[in-house]
Structure 1
Amino acid sequence: MIRQIKFNNLKSFDDFELKIKSIEIAYPTPKTIKESVPFQNGDYDFTELYGETTYNNRSIKIAFIYDGFKAITRTKLNSFYTKVINWLYNAGKSELIIDYEVGSFQGRVINISSIEVLTCVGEITVEFDCYPFRIYKQSEGNIPWDDFNFELDYLQETNFNVLVSKSINIINSSSKRISPTVICSESFEVIKGDTTYKFNSGTTKDWRFTLDKGDNNLILKGTGNIEFVFRKEVL
């Protein structure tokens, strides 16, 4: 099977006959926030001031080769270049799927090398600037059995039927805090620690309500159905 990427709703080999030569996926670097005070040894480190480390974007470089140059006219060759460049540059920020990676990346193309033609083979290198975290395709609680990783994933419920009150635990196995979408059949109160969040019936995204990394003990108050929808994000 020929490896390929999907970006801007098109596939590198199926749509352009580009074969992957190499892929370099860099890990994101932490954003270090430090302040120095005159006459003080060292400095103050505010990197985790709000409870967790934040990260810079990650770089992904992919080298493609194209061996369809035999008996091709200059006009068709220029047309091919134009189609590839338009596919990559006109996408803006889009989902990048590498077929052998679990999950996807979000990013944009920031650099395309000039296409080099050696004999009948062309080579082009594309650099993507991506959101630091890799995002799972399936939401938590709905990971297909064939994709389930027994070392990293958790079998858990994220959809609950409640009669007056219920205590639950949701595990966020992401590398960061996550703000889930909350879907309620009726109005609910969700108590996390000392804070109470109120959700009306319907679908709500409240950026103040987050699931911490690891265990999240919640108390649900209301009668009806409530669901927490979120996808795991990992480095």
Structure 2
Amino acid sequence: MADSFDFRSMLMDPSIPFEQIPFEGIVFGDFDSRKEGWFLTAREAPTPSEQEVIENVPFRQGNFDFSEYNGDRFFKQREIKYTLMYFGENGNYSDRKSIEQEIKRQLMPQTITELYDTHDTIYHWKGKVKSIEVEDDEKYGTLTATVVFDCYPFAIRNHDEFDDLWDEVYFPHWIFMDKRYEINGKTTVTYHNIGSRMVEVTLKVVSGSVSYGGMTINSGSSKFISVPKGKHDIEFDGNGVIELSAVREEMI
């Protein structure tokens, strides 16, 4: 099933000796740590801090916590740190310096983009590099790079051909929160938001004409519906086929 990970561009050059291929790594933009010869030795992804809104009132025990809205808690950016090691082939300092410059050149200028990690094969993060620190070990001819990413607090569920296969074999069909419904007159649709937070669900009318919230949506048009996490009943009217889809976000 390894070939199914092609979407992450993690395939290695077969000319490289098997024992020298790193099996754990990250992909960020065009940078693939495994292809660059960096070995992932540690990762840290602590949960993010909450964006707290707390008010204290005189002569009242405790406080008022306004940090929640519609059943959701809100979080600050998440810091994810990776430790990568590079084992030099000839112990040449100038070669190691070139490798150090290259990892900085490839990662630091990147704008906010997707971060893939072999540890979380069905999710990805989104962010940018906050800092890169590289230590040179002259004795052993190695480099240790500490790369810190500033990321969106929730992991985002991948959805591609591999996920479709995985979905059919291992999980219920609604795992990706994408589903079609037939609307005949007044119809109640039960929608499962199985993620960790409220999502913006795309309501697309595939055929016919459907009304939602007093608004008529014709075939080929779409609108967004905010749906809290959990199971919810959504009322529609009209005749046609609709598609509800959303990106699943998880606190992992």
Matched residue, 1:162:
183
Tell whether 2:70 aligns with 1:70: no
Change (3 A) 1:19 1:216: same
* Structure 2 counterpart of 1:18, one-letter code: W
Deviations 1:162-181 (CA, angstroms, capped at 9, x unpaired): 33343221100111000022
Matched residue, 2:71:
51
Matched residue, 2:117:
98
Change (3 A) 1:229 1:146: closer
- 2:141 corresponds, among 120, 127, 131, to 120
Q: Which runs of 4+ in 1 moved over 6 A?
A: none
Deviations 1:66-89 (CA, angstroms, capped at 9, x unpaired): 013525461x44432222112211
Change (3 A) 1:145 1:50: closer
Tell whether 2:223 aligns with 1:202: no
Change (3 A) 1:57 1:44: same
- Indicate the SS of the match to 1:63: strand
Change (3 A) 1:72 1:109: same
Deviation at 1:103, TM superposition (A): 0.6
Number of residues of Structure 1 aligned to a counterpart in Structure 2: 224
RMSD over aligned Cα atoms = 2.7
Change (3 A) 1:155 1:77: closer
Q: Judge conservation of contact 2:191–2:233 (CA < 8 Å) in 1.
A: yes
- Indicate the SS of the match to 2:106: helix
- Indicate the SS of the match to 2:99: helix
Q: Judge conservation of contact 2:31–2:107 (CA < 8 Å) in 1.
A: no
Q: Give me the whole-angstrom Cα distance separating, in 2, the residues matched to 1:95 and 1:147.
A: 26
- Aligned residues with identical type, % of pairs: 22
| TM-score, normalised with respect to structure 2 | 0.78
Q: Give me the whole-angstrom Cα distance separating, in 1, the residues matched to 2:79 and 2:169.
A: 26
- 2:48 corresponds, among 28, 34, 42, to 28
- Indicate the SS of the match to 1:84: helix
Tell whether 2:194 aligns with 1:173: yes
* Structure 1 counterpart of 2:157, one-letter code: Y
Q: Give me the whole-angstrom Cα distance separating, in 2, the residues matched to 1:156 and 1:109.
A: 30
Deviation at 1:184, TM superposition (A): 1.5
| TM-score, normalised with respect to structure 1 | 0.83
Structure 2 regions of 5+ residues with no counterpart?
A: 1-21
| Between structures 1 and 2, the one with greater helix share | 2
Q: Judge conservation of contact 1:96–1:104 (CA < 8 Å) in 2.
A: yes
Matched residue, 2:239:
223
After the TM superposition, which residues 126-145 of structure 1 pair with which residues of structure 2 at under 5 Å, given as runs?
A: 126-138=147-159, 142=164, 144-145=166-167
Q: Give me the whole-angstrom Cα distance separating, in 2, the residues matched to 1:104 and 1:78.
A: 30
- Indicate the SS of the match to 1:80: helix
Q: Give me the whole-angstrom Cα distance separating, in 2, the residues matched to 1:225 and 1:184.
A: 6
Deviation at 1:41, TM superposition (A): 3.1
Change (3 A) 1:197 1:124: farther
Q: Give me the whole-angstrom Cα distance separating, in 2, the residues matched to 1:32 and 1:132.
A: 15
Deviation at 1:59, TM superposition (A): 1.2
- Indicate the SS of the match to 1:86: helix
Q: Give me the whole-angstrom Cα distance separating, in 2, the residues matched to 1:63 and 1:2.
A: 14
- Indicate the SS of the match to 2:187: strand
Matched residue, 2:37:
17
